[in-house]
Amino acid sequence: MSKTILIGSPNSGKSLLFNRLTGLNQKVANFPGITVNINSGKSLAQPSNEFLDFPGAYSLQTISGEEKIAVDAFYQALQDPEISSVVCVVDATRLEKGLIFALQVINACAEYQKPLIIAANMGDVLEQHNLSMDIAGLEQALGIPVVQISAKSGTGLDQLQDLAINHRQLPSPYTSDIIASDESVNHRQAQQLAEEYGPKGDLLINSQTRLDQFFLHSWFGGLSFLVIMYLLFQSIFTWAAPVMDGVESSLQFMAEIILPLLPEGVISDFTADALFGGIGAFLVFVPQIFVLTLVVGMLEDSGYLARAAVICHKPLRLFGLTGKSFIPMLSSVACAIPGIYAARTVDSPRKRWLTYLAIPLMPCSARLPVYSLLIAAFIPASNMFGGLIGWQGLAMFGIYVFGILCGLLVTALVSKTNKAMQSDLPFVLEMPPYRLPSWRPLLRNAWSRSKHFVTKAGKVIFLVTVVIWVLGYFPNQGASLGESWLGQMGQWIEPLFSPFGLDWKYGVAILTSFLAREVFVGTLGTLFGIEGGEENIISLAEHIQNSGLPIGAGFALLVFFSIALQCVSTLAVLRRETGSWRLPTQLFISYSLFAYAAAWLTFVIVQAIAG
């Protein structure tokens, strides 16, 4: 087995290239510093060759802790006899920056005797703007093969693979006649090479600047930021709604066909309550996860995220964070796990730690089913301004803003009172180019994420649902939920949740949702299924409406779910990233107490207002 390393400066397209070569699905986004772990995969074309996708680095002389890990791993790999070649990916539209790093890699490969190939990526962008670079000239100047590729369209990849496997000539250190101080010689050389062989003119950078002048404008910038964020939330509702309705009616349709075929009794009850009631209630929300991932992915690909980080920098600084915290926080809107990984792009250790505090409070997509359910039950589906703004979308926006505000409140409080790790890295962020999102990888990513959601959460939900159903159905065959085993246990926990107007069924659903939030919907669906008997297959939201749950309790539930840290995976990943159980334990306990107190307060206030 031979192995090839893919290395290069951040955002040069290594991961997209890696995905192309291996058929895998690593995260790709138009923002520097996305890849944080080394990933490996077999080549599709040459299964005996393996590729390793490295995190991007600006330099082999490192300053931030994360980069150091990647660079150390690179040096270690250079000494590994299994590594047969190195591919250094440079962004041809920003050749100079890529070459500064590539020159360092040339020297390292010369020292450790590894063959090296330079891949000048983004060939499609050059072509599109009628630009070109002098590949042969650069090749000659550097004394190593240079291949023009496009990881997006796939051109040049065959040639690259061929060289990665067959090119065995070792590079020698690059020398030029530039004499300068040690620090800047590398830089001067790169500049000279880029000037001589790179694409001419500053067409690309000028058009980028024109867009920046709009998106970062003092007024239009802030305004467009708000509009984009608002559209993001509105899209979750309006785009996904027809699909969700479709899923719901096809489930009902299936239930109506299948249930009459089953013999009366336990089996038919189980199918109706646990399968259609419990798991079906959760499946309805998968389209929303899909849309959310898609829209966040579009933002990530467009290059807008880096601008949003710049816009948010000043306001976030008030809360002890930095503009770079915006990206992990936005990723957490899809799921806290990638958000925690993305926090590695926050280079200051103190700010990263503060970002970790905010992440569990970001409204993640596992909360979405719970929010949607409660909003559907309590907020009318009518529109304002001729359908432009829907009440339900507005309510969703409100609860999302609430979660984000809670997160900021916590970081502000902690950063004022806790002075640990005061030394800080300053804010320097490279502005990636603007690009039209490419649809295929985005759709693929949204699809795989939804699938992952269904299979992974689905397993937990299935197990919990079965257990809940058994406990709720026996010993009296579903005749009376209150007298079942579960009902008796429920009496014990009811006092815990009655302060905010919830009966034991909701209590059980909340407790089970500590495994994963979306379990709430499945549990509740099962319980209402048993209680309702088989004659009425109605949606869970209607069940809730019919049960006469006070509106204050609905709001209390919303508040509880937006604060409580009910996610085992978040705790585990936080442990891995921080190296101890300390932070996850502290967060779990304090956010549970905070959630409980806030839910109680909400119930009292809303009930008082609602009379």
Q: Which residues bind ligand GTP (CB under 6 A)?
A: 8, 10-16, 28-30, 32-35, 55-56, 121-122, 124-125, 150-152, 301, 435
Q: Does 134 bind other proteins (CB under 8 A)?
A: no
Give whole-number Cα distances, 479 to 57, 79, 545, 548, in Å.
64, 70, 22, 21
- The item of Mg ion, other proteins, ligand GTP, none sharing an interface with residue 168, based on CB under 5 to 8 Å by kind, is none
User: Residues 83, 204, 240, 343: which binds other proteins (CB under 8 A)?
Assistant: 204
- The full 3-state SS of 451-478, as one line of letters, equals HHHHHHHHHHHHHHHHHHHHHHHCCCCC
User: Residues 90, 95, 274, 461: which binds other proteins (CB under 8 A)?
Assistant: 95
Stretch that binds other proteins, among 161-169, 213-221, 380-388, 405-413 (CB under 8 A): 213-221
Give the C-alpha separation, 423 to 546, whole Å: 56
User: Residues 15, 150, 392, 566: which binds Mg ion (CB under 5 A)?
Assistant: 15
Q: Does 572 bind other proteins (CB under 8 A)?
A: no
What is the enclosing helix (H) or strand (E) of 307? helix 304-318
What is the enclosing helix (H) or strand (E) of 244? helix 241-258
Q: Does 168 bind other proteins (CB under 8 A)?
A: no
Q: Does 207 bind other proteins (CB under 8 A)?
A: no
Give whole-number Cα distances, 241 to 65, 247, 392, 545, 576, in Å.
44, 10, 11, 20, 37
- The item of ligand GTP, other proteins, Mg ion, none sharing an interface with residue 577, based on CB under 5 to 8 Å by kind, is none
CA 436 vs. chain centroid, Å, equals 20
Q: Does 194 bind other proteins (CB under 8 A)?
A: yes
Give the C-alpha separation, 488 to 335, whole Å: 35
Q: Does 184 bind other proteins (CB under 8 A)?
A: yes
Give the C-alpha separation, 306 to 404, whole Å: 19
Angle between helices 391-417 and 326-334 (to 10 degrees): 140
In the region spanning residues 21 to 40, those forming contacts with Mg ion, defined by CB under 5 A, are: 34-35
Q: Does 610 bind other proteins (CB under 8 A)?
A: no
Q: Smaller CB distance to other proteins: residue 98 or 478?
A: 98
What is the enclosing helix (H) or strand (E) of 440? helix 439-452
Q: Does 303 bind other proteins (CB under 8 A)?
A: no
In the region spanning residues 431 to 470, those forming contacts with other proteins, defined by CB under 8 A, are: 431
What is the enclosing helix (H) or strand (E) of 83? strand 83-91
Task: Give the residue at shortest CB distance from ligand GTP.
Answer: 56
Least Cβ distance, residue 334 to ligand GTP (angstroms): 16
Q: Does 94 bind other proteins (CB under 8 A)?
A: yes
DSSP 516: B
Least Cβ distance, residue 126 to other proteins (angstroms): 12
Stretch that binds other proteins, among 375-383, 385-393, 405-413, 425-433 (CB under 8 A): 425-433
Least Cβ distance, residue 49 to ligand GTP (angstroms): 19
Q: Which amino acid is at 513?
A: S
| Residue pointed to by tokens 């959310």 | 292
Give the C-alpha separation, 37 to 54, whole Å: 7
Taking alpha carbons only, the member of 86, 37, 34 closest to residue 343 is 34
- The item of other proteins, ligand GTP, Mg ion, none sharing an interface with residue 550, based on CB under 5 to 8 Å by kind, is none
Applying CB under 8 A, the site for other proteins has a residue count of: 42
Q: Which two tokens stand for residue 87?
A: 């591919």
Rg (CA), the chain: 28
Q: Does 526 bind other proteins (CB under 8 A)?
A: no
Give the C-alpha separation, 280 to 373, whole Å: 13
In the region spanning residues 375 to 414, those forming contacts with Mg ion, defined by CB under 5 A, are: none
Q: Does 11 bind Mg ion (CB under 5 A)?
A: no
Q: Does 429 bind other proteins (CB under 8 A)?
A: yes
Least Cβ distance, residue 112 to other proteins (angstroms): 21
Taking alpha carbons only, the member of 123, 150, 146, 125 closest to residue 136 is 146
Q: Does 19 bind Mg ion (CB under 5 A)?
A: no
Window 311-330: contact mask with other proteins (x via CB under 8 A): x-xx--------x-------
Q: Smaller CB distance to other proteins: residue 312 or 527?
A: 312
Q: Which two tokens stand for residue 454?
A: 């269904």
Q: Decide: 374 and 359 in contact? Cβ < 8 Å.
A: no
Stretch that binds Mg ion, among 9-17, 121-129, 220-228, 242-250 (CB under 5 A): 9-17
User: Residues 37, 44, 59, 80: which binds other proteins (CB under 8 A)?
Assistant: 59
Q: Does 216 bind other proteins (CB under 8 A)?
A: yes
CB atoms closer than 10 angstroms to residue 514: 16
Q: Decide: 91 and 77 in contact? Cβ < 8 Å.
A: no
Q: What are phi and psi of 539, to 5 degrees?
A: -70, 160
Q: Does 344 bind other proteins (CB under 8 A)?
A: no
Q: Which amino acid is at 419?
A: K
Q: Which residues bind other proteins (CB under 8 A)?
A: 58-59, 61, 63, 93-97, 100, 183-184, 186-187, 191, 194, 198, 202, 204-205, 208-209, 212-213, 216-218, 221, 306, 309-311, 313-314, 323, 425-431
